[in-house]
Amino acid sequence: MAETYPQITVRTEAEAQNARAEVGSVQASAKLAEHQRTQLDLVHSQVPTEQKDFWINRDGLTYAGVHLIVDMWDAENLDNEALIQKALKEAAIEAGATLLHVHTHKFEEGGGVSGVAVLAESHISVHTWPERNFAAFDIFMCGDARPIDGIPALKRAFTPGHINVVEHKRGIAL
């Protein structure tokens, strides 16, 4: 394809050099613009036409996900780091979530455990106080995951005498 450039009338050698520089600049700008169009075409061709953002549309509401605040009282095994890791993994699986990583930290002798299961759909976190037989869990999930279905795994592991669950839909604009 032939490029068209403005015609330049040359009177002196200095003007001729300036004219050549101007033509070179126009050519470089045209090449850069074409390169940018090609790059944009490549980027746009890689973006799926329907991109899923994993927000939930249910009962006439659209929101980012369900966040459960789970308090367990009179619970057991709250200083058992290996059991806590296993319970986090099982809760994620039973909720239909995609487990990416589990990380826990056991505090000094007699202390509790803090941990998180990082999920593709968000997370499950825990903080335990064995001296009070209390555990606090956050279960936040988006997409098709069902955070409520993860609670039985936690109940099996910690056998609480009392459990309190509060649900919050994250991302609803009020």
Contact yes or no for 166/69 (Cβ under 8 A): yes
Contact yes or no for 87/157 (Cβ under 8 A): yes
Question: Given 45, 127, 162, 168, which residue is catalytic?
Answer: 127
Question: Given 25, 105, 122, 125, which residue is catalytic?
Answer: 122
Known active-site residue 142: yes
Known active-site residue 127: yes
Cβ neighbours of residue 12 closer than 8 Å, sequence gap 6 or more: none
Q: Is 143 left (phi over 0), alpha (psi -120 to 50) or beta?
A: left
- 120 membership: H or E segment, kind and range: none
Question: Given 103, 142, 162, 168, which residue is catalytic?
Answer: 142
The set of catalytic residues is 122, 127, 142
